[in-house]
Structure 1
Amino acid sequence: MPQKRSTFPGKGRFGAALTLAASVLAATLGAPQAAQAEGQLRIAEQFGVVYLLLNVARDQQLIEKHGKEAGVDIKVDWTQLSGGSAVNDALLSGAVDIAGAGVGPLLTIWDRTHGKQNVKAVASLGNFPYYLVSNNPNVKTIADFSEKDRIAVPAVGVSVQSRYLQFASAKLWGDAEYNRLDKYTVNLPHPDAAAALKTGGTELNGHFSNPPFQEQEVENKNVHVVLNSYDVLGPNSPTVLFATEKFRDENPKTYQAFIDALADAADYIKRDKPGAADTYIRVTHSSIDRAQLIKIIENPQFEFTINPKNTYPMAEFLYRVGAIKTKPTSWKDYFFQDAKLLEGS
C-alpha cells in the first residue's frame, strides 16, 4: 500500500517515486485489498499545475466540507506517484480509491477492466496544451528524432504524453508505425526531466512535459518546442481522475462530496487565479516564481473544468492501432455519468 504523505516529495523525488511504484506493484501481485468504508478517500495524484483542482480541494478541505454537509466525516489521504502505470497499479491493487493520470492510462485501464472492475473516469481536471520540448538544435519536428535522442515521459507507451507522440507519429508515418518513436522514450517524473533538460550534460535531450515544467524549460534559450499537443488533437482534456465502479457504488456520499469539491475548486480558480497560484505553491512546496505561475495559470488556452473535452479521438485512435481491444461508442462509455458532468466529448 502506498506510503501516506502529508507533504509532497522534495529532493530525491525520482527515487521515492520508484520505491513507491515498486511497493504498489508488489501489492498488485498479492491479494486485492478490500474497498474502504464510506468516509475514507485515498487519492493518487502526480506532478504539475494540471492537478490544481486537487490542490485547491486539499488546501480548502472542500471534500471534508461537502462530506459533512452529507453527514459523513471524510478522512482524505493523499499520495503522489509518477506515471500512469504506477497509478493504474495502485488503483487495481486497492491501494487508492481515486487515481489521477492522463487519458492514455485511463483508456488502458478502462479497456483492461471492462466487464470486471469497470474503471471509468470521474471527472476531467481541465484542458491544457502539453509541449514536447528538446535542447537538441537539430530536432525541429518529430521526424528529426534519432537513436541519439532520449525523450522523457511519465510512463513509456502508456502516459498521455506517449500517446500524443504515437498519435503524431501515426499522422506522419501511418498507423502501422504509430509507436515508431517509443524506443527513444524513457520513464522519468516531470520535475526530474525538466531539471535534466535545463542543465544539459545528460543523454536526455527531450521531454514531453506539462505545465508549469514546460514553461520553465522553454525559458532556457537552448530549449525549444518541437510539438504542441493541441496541434495533434486540438484543445482537449489530457488528464483525468478515475475510480472503480465498486468504490463509486459502495461510497455514494464520499464520491459525491469529491465531485462537488472539484466543481467548487474549478469555480474558485476561475474567480481567483492569483489565489490559486498561492495554493499551488503552498500545497506542492514549489519554488516557482509566483508571477510566472500566475501568468501560466492565466494562459487563455487553459481551462480548469471537470467537464472532459475532445477525449474521444484518442480513444478511437487507440482502438484503431490495437492499443485497446474494446471500442467505446462515445466518451460516455469511459466516464461515469453524474449530474455535475453536464457536457463532454
Structure 2
Amino acid sequence: MRVQGRTRRGLLRLLGAAALVTAGTAAAQAEVTTVRLAKQFGISYLPLTLMETEQLLEKQAKQRGFEVKTEWLRFTGGSGMNDAVLSGGLDFASGGVGPFLTIWGRTQGNIKVKGVAALNAMPLWLVTVNPEVKAIKDFGPKDKIALPTVKTSIQALTLQMAAEKAFGEGQQHKLDALTVSMGHPDAQTAMMGGRSEITAHFGSPPFQELELKDPRARKVLDSYDVMGGPHTFNLVWASGRFVDANPKVTAAFVAALEDSLKLIRDDPARAAALWIKAEGAKMSQEEAEAIVRAPQNEWTTAPKRMLEYLAYMNRVGLVSAKAATENELFFPVPGKEAGKGAGR
C-alpha cells in the first residue's frame, strides 16, 4: 500500500506538472499566431518591405520563444486601412499622418487606435505637367490633382494648409474640388501619359523623383516648406484591443522594425536592391539607392511635426481629440519606460 500511495502521489505530481505545462502552452498561444500587416506603394514603405522579404518578424518571434506567420496585404490609401482595422480584419496598418490621426481621433472612446512607431520623415512633392502652373495659385478648373485620398490623406491635408497660406484664412479648401483619389502608380501613369484629365500628382518617393526626370514635369510644392521642416510621412498603427491582447507579438514587431531600419542604415545598397526585387520596380539600382541615401529622407521611428498636422485638423473640424505631446499619439514601446517611445 505504501508503494501504491507513493505511486498515487507521483501520479498526482505528474498530472499537476502536465496541467501547468498545458496552461503555460495555452497562455503562450493566447496571442495571435498569424499577424496581418498592410503596406502601400512606394519606397517609403521600405522598412516594411524588408520586414516581409527578410522575415524579420518571424525571426524576432522565434528568438522570443514563439512562432508566428505573417499575412501581408496591400492598400492604395489609408482610408481602406482604417476600415480594415475597425472591422478587425487587420492588425498593423501603415500609412500617412492624415489617415492615422483620423482614426486616432475617432477611436479614443472605444478601441483606442494609437501609433506603434513612425517609419520615416520624407518630403512630399506636388508635381505638374501643366506648363502654365508655376505655383498652386496657378491651378485652374481644367486641372486635376491626383493624391491617395481626397480631404484626409497627408497630401490632401498639406495641400489644404498650403492653400490657406496662399489664398488667405478660411481658404484651405479652395483646391479640394480639383483633387482626385488615386493610387500613386496609377496617378503617375495618368499624368505622364498625357491622355487623362490628371495634370498634377501630389505623390511620394519614388514616384515624384521619377516624374521629375521628364522635362515636362516641375515641382510646384514641397511639404517640408509648408510644414517648416522635416515631418513624419508614414507610420504604423494598431488598435489598443490588439496591442493589449498581443504584447509579445507587438514587442516582436517593434524589434523587427528596428532590425529593418538598421539594415537600411548599415547597407542602403542592399536595402535598395531588395526593394527593387520585391516590388518589381522599374528603376535602376542607382536611382533607388539615391532615394534611400538622400539626406532629406530620414529612416526613423521618431515622430516629427505630427502635432502641427493635428492642430490643423482640430482647427478645421476633421478631428476633435487633442494631444499635448506626440507620445500621447503612440503606445509605450515594449521593453522601455512607459511614455518614452522608440526614438521619441
Is 1:163 the counterpart of 2:157 in the alignment? yes
Is 1:96 the counterpart of 2:90 in the alignment? yes
Partner of 1:136: 130
Partner of 2:257: 262
Q: Quick one: which amino acid aligns to residue 247 of structure 1?
A: F
Q: Between Structure 1 and Structure 2, whose CA radius of gyration is higher?
A: 2
Deviations 1:293-340 (A, max 9, x none): 111111111111112122111111111121111121121221112138
Q: List alignment gaps of at least 5 residues for structure 1.
A: 1-35
Which whole-Å CA distance do the structure 1 matches of 2:109 and 2:130 have between them?
45
Is 1:83 the counterpart of 2:83 in the alignment? no
Partner of 1:225: 219
Cα distance, 1:281 vs. partner? 1.1
Which whole-Å CA distance do the structure 1 matches of 2:201 and 2:74 have between them?
20
Partner of 1:64: 58
Cα distance, 1:193 vs. partner? 0.7
5 Å-filtered alignment, 1:132-281, equals: 132-233=126-227, 234-281=229-276
Go from structure 1 to structure 2 and tell me whether the alpha carbon gap of 1:162 and 1:77 turns closer, same or farther (over 3 Å shift): same
Q: Greater shift after overlay, 206-215 or 333-342?
A: 333-342
Q: Quick one: which amino acid aligns to residue 225 of structure 2?
A: D
Contact 2:301 2:342 in 1 (8 A): no
Which whole-Å CA distance do the structure 2 matches of 1:60 and 1:83 have between them?
25
Which whole-Å CA distance do the structure 2 matches of 1:342 and 1:73 have between them?
24
Which whole-Å CA distance do the structure 1 matches of 2:172 and 2:343 have between them?
30
2:313 to 313, 318, 329: 318
Deviations 1:55-88 (A, max 9, x none): 1111111100110111121111000011111111
Cα distance, 1:96 vs. partner? 0.7
Identity over aligned pairs, percent: 40
Cα distance, 1:90 vs. partner? 1.1
Give the secondary structure class of the aligned counterpart of 1:176.
coil
Contact 2:327 2:341 in 1 (8 A): no
Which whole-Å CA distance do the structure 2 matches of 1:328 and 1:239 have between them?
19
Q: Greater shift after overlay, 283-292 or 207-216?
A: 283-292
Deviations 1:232-261 (A, max 9, x none): 111011111100001001011111110000
Cα distance, 1:223 vs. partner? 0.6
Which whole-Å CA distance do the structure 1 matches of 2:264 and 2:86 have between them?
31
2:108 to 96, 110, 114: 114
Which whole-Å CA distance do the structure 1 matches of 2:98 and 2:238 have between them?
15
Deviations 1:205-236 (A, max 9, x none): 00001000100000010010000110111101
Give RMSD over aligned pairs.
Answer: 1.3
Deviations 1:128-158 (A, max 9, x none): 1110000001111111112111000111111
Which whole-Å CA distance do the structure 1 matches of 2:66 and 2:174 have between them?
50
Q: Quick one: which amino acid aligns to residue 263 of structure 2?
A: Y
Contact 2:301 2:343 in 1 (8 A): no
Contact 1:196 1:202 in 2 (8 A): yes
Which whole-Å CA distance do the structure 2 matches of 1:336 and 1:141 have between them?
39
Q: List alignment gaps of at least 5 residues for structure 2.
A: 1-29
Which whole-Å CA distance do the structure 2 matches of 1:186 and 1:311 have between them?
24
Contact 1:131 1:228 in 2 (8 A): yes
1:299 to 294, 298, 308: 294
Cα distance, 1:172 vs. partner? 2.2
Contact 2:232 2:303 in 1 (8 A): yes
Give the secondary structure class of the aligned counterpart of 2:170.
helix
TM-score, with normalisation over the residues of structure 2?
Answer: 0.87
Which whole-Å CA distance do the structure 1 matches of 2:310 and 2:83 have between them?
21
Contact 1:176 1:321 in 2 (8 A): no
Which whole-Å CA distance do the structure 1 matches of 2:255 and 2:342 have between them?
13
Give the secondary structure class of the aligned counterpart of 1:202.
coil
Cα distance, 1:173 vs. partner? 2.7
Partner of 2:117: 123
Go from structure 1 to structure 2 and tell me whether the alpha carbon gap of 1:41 and 1:175 turns closer, same or farther (over 3 Å shift): farther
Is 1:334 the counterpart of 2:329 in the alignment? yes
Contact 1:175 1:321 in 2 (8 A): no
Which whole-Å CA distance do the structure 1 matches of 2:320 and 2:341 have between them?
26
TM-score, with normalisation over the residues of structure 1?
Answer: 0.87
Q: Quick one: which amino acid aligns to residue 246 of structure 1?
A: R
Contact 2:111 2:241 in 1 (8 A): yes
